[in-house]
Amino acid sequence: MDEHVSHLLALMITGIVVTMCVVLHYEALRFLSSAVGIHVHKRIGVLVVMLGLLAAHVLEIIIFAIGYMIMQHSTELGHITGVKEGNLLDFIYYSSVVYTTVGFGDLIPVGAIRILSGFEGLTGLAMITWSASFTFLAMQRLWPHLLTRLDSDSKK
């Protein structure tokens, strides 16, 4: 396959995967926002937010892992050095390392598949910070007594 064509195809797959993850994250935040608004005990509400966000991140990592599998097995878009069998768990491991921007070590992308890796790091960073902002706002709403205590402590 021509190098330009492979990079264009990798960009298209990357665009689809990133869009799916952003929409999933948005919908997870919408769901959690309304679920926490229901008459839930404030302590349980924070747990629901945290567990829901962790579930969303895991699903996003799996979506990226499936993107890697498609690119490595179905097309000539490169491969991930160190992934021998190419089962889903190998790709989930690689995806979680990239999503959390821990960095590579034992697995390295080669070829056009690197485009997906680069965008996954950026997407993971954005989704994690979005989750942190949402968690702060949820805690501000659910645990206002903590903010009052922190504010009074900072004025001392």
Q: Taking each helix axis from N to C terminus, what angle separates 113-142 and 88-99, rounded to the nearest 10 degrees?
A: 60
Please indicate, yes or no, if residue 104 is contained in any of the structural domains. yes
Instruction: Say if residue 146's pLDDT is above 70.
Output: no
**pLDDT tens readout for residues 17-47:** 999 999 999 999 999 988 776 656 667 888 8
**pLDDT tens readout for residues 91-143:** 999 999 999 988 767 899 999 999 999 999 999 999 999 999 999 888 887 77
Alpha carbon distance 127, 118 (integer Å) = 14
Please indicate, yes or no, if residue 156 is contained in any of the structural domains. no
The confidence score (pLDDT) of residue 140 equals 82
Report the domain count for the chain. Answer: 1
Please indicate, yes or no, if residue 75 is contained in any of the structural domains. yes
- Domain assignment of residue 109, given as a range: 3-151
Please indicate, yes or no, if residue 87 is contained in any of the structural domains. yes
